[in-house]
Structure 1
Amino acid sequence: MITKFKTALAAAALLIAATAPSFAEEFAAPNTWAPPAAYADADTGENYDIVVGDPNAPITIYEYASLTCPHCKAYQELAADEVQEKWIDTGKAKLVYRHFPLDQSALAAALTVQCLPADKRYDAVKLFFKNVDKWAQNPEGLIAVLKDSYGKDFTFAEGKDAKDSLIECMNRKEFAQKSLKAMLDASQNGVNSTPYFIIDGEHVRGANPAEKMGEIIQKHLDAKVSK
């Protein structure tokens, strides 16, 4: 499977390599880039973003993260659940999670997530962060983590072996390019670290505590009310 994984990931890895120079760029002025609201397939309508919360919430939190990034994992452990409970589950904000894989293992995990049904993708993100030690050095561990959660019969396509169905998904035409389009755009517009948030237009770097994230969200909510 590892050899097949390497074949399936080769084109996507080239995409990451092509963007590498922009990762090192630093912008003297605050970044004001506004990301596209959504990434979707024009033909099928498939949404490549992972959206959590009310789609019509007044505040949008864009999160760019790499599934092997220790700072991204720290944010998940220390702040993400509280931010979701206080701001997303209450309808004040929605989260748009976007993959920003910084290495080959994170790339494998990101594409594995995207091969899942939309309603399972954010759960898989959290599973992979929680169990990163079980898969970061071995791509077969990604499937093992999913089977531990969903049962030994888990597969990406009914009636097919989990490994074969995952590789088949990854080999779909332009699948990797479309799944990583958000990362490519972001890396060309000043997003050069993870985790990286854009909250109602404000760029916020790093694994900030829930209290700090809440202050930023509330500030933008107040600004909308005052208009």
Structure 2
Amino acid sequence: MTPLRTSAFAWFAAPLVLALAACGSEDGTVDGEVPEGEAVAAVDAPEGTSWTEQLTVTAEDGYKIGNPDAPITLIEYASLTCPACASFASSGLEKLKADYIETGQVSFELRNQIHGPHDLALATLVRCGADESFHPLSDQVWLNLQEVLSPLQTNGAAAQQAMALPEDQRLVQIAEVLGFLDFFAARGLSKDQARQCLADQESYSAIAERSRVQSDELGVTGTPTFFINGRKTDAGNWAQLEPLLQRAGAR
């Protein structure tokens, strides 16, 4: 699990750090407090559609896919710079979709926890296009995380200097020097559109503030953190999470 290092705004004055260096262990024990539920029946998606195509943006600014009335709800708090989150995306996400979301038994909501200004830039960019692009773009960041984060080693000082710029220029410059604009442009988000989103100080500040408030309220101290039917678990990877979904009734 990657720990939340600072509050949502304090890190504007803190040095940029490589998230990989702060990544913790995925060997935590699984919380036994998820109650055992009766097996829930599969529910067909509307004709001609699949549940993984159904997207709802929640009041908490989470992006939920699946049956909106699924009896089992799964929420993940994740950082886009978190290697453990990337590991979950690469090792468990497809099985989660195929075996649990497509059946209509489980809905999956992804919420961002922000770990630094470069993380906030990424969280802003995955929201910059259509709502439906949020999950695919997030997955692209995680599946290419080494490529995404490697410029921090060579251009970290330049990104840090961007923090002295006016607020509507900070994230734009960070994304420029760290190669984020090129990365997202290769995936369909134009640089002009990306710059416009990154310059929207009101919007990106709201992302950071939601991260801070929700983390405080729900006790989310690092990523990934998973909630099943509103209960926080200690699962840090797919091998730990799947038995909890089955215990809740997805079997």
TM-score range, shorter chain: 0.5 to 0.7
> Measured at CA, do residues 16 and 75 of structure 1 come closer, stay the same or move farther in structure 2, by a change above 3 Å?
farther
| Aligned residue runs from structure 1 range 3-152, under 5 A | 15-17=8-10, 38-39=58-59, 48-136=61-149, 137=151, 139-140=175-176, 141-150=179-188
Deviation readout 1:26-70 (Å, 9 max, x if unpaired): xxxx9x9xxxx9326xxxxxxx32111121211111100111111
My pick for the range that moved more, 133-142 or 62-71, is 133-142
Identity %: 24
Q: Is the 8 A contact 1:87 1:214 kept in 2?
A: no
The structural deviation recorded for 1:104 is 2.4
- Partner Cα separation in structure 2 for residue 39 and residue 174 of structure 1: 17
Measured on the aligned residues, the alpha-carbon RMSD in Å equals 2.6
In structure 2, what is the equivalent of residue 169 of structure 1? 197
In structure 2, what is the equivalent of residue 4 of structure 1? none
The one-letter code sitting in structure 1 at the alignment partner of 2:10 is A
Q: Unmatched 5+ residue regions in structure 2?
A: 1-5, 12-30, 34-56, 153-174
Q: Is the 8 A contact 2:120 2:208 kept in 1?
A: no
Deviation readout 1:148-185 (Å, 9 max, x if unpaired): 333xxx42xxxxxx2x3222223336202333344122
Q: Does residue 220 of the first structure (1) align with residue 233 of the second (2)?
A: no
The one-letter code sitting in structure 2 at the alignment partner of 1:204 is T
In structure 2, what is the equivalent of residue 195 of structure 1? 224
The structural deviation recorded for 1:216 is 1.2
Which secondary structure state, in structure 2, belongs to the residue aligned with residue 101 of structure 1? Answer: coil
TM-score when scaled to structure 2? 0.62
Q: Is the 8 A contact 2:72 2:229 kept in 1?
A: yes
The structural deviation recorded for 1:218 is 2.4
The structural deviation recorded for 1:124 is 0.2
The structural deviation recorded for 1:142 is 2.4
Which secondary structure state, in structure 2, belongs to the residue aligned with residue 188 of structure 1? Answer: helix
The structural deviation recorded for 1:78 is 1.6
The one-letter code sitting in structure 1 at the alignment partner of 2:182 is A
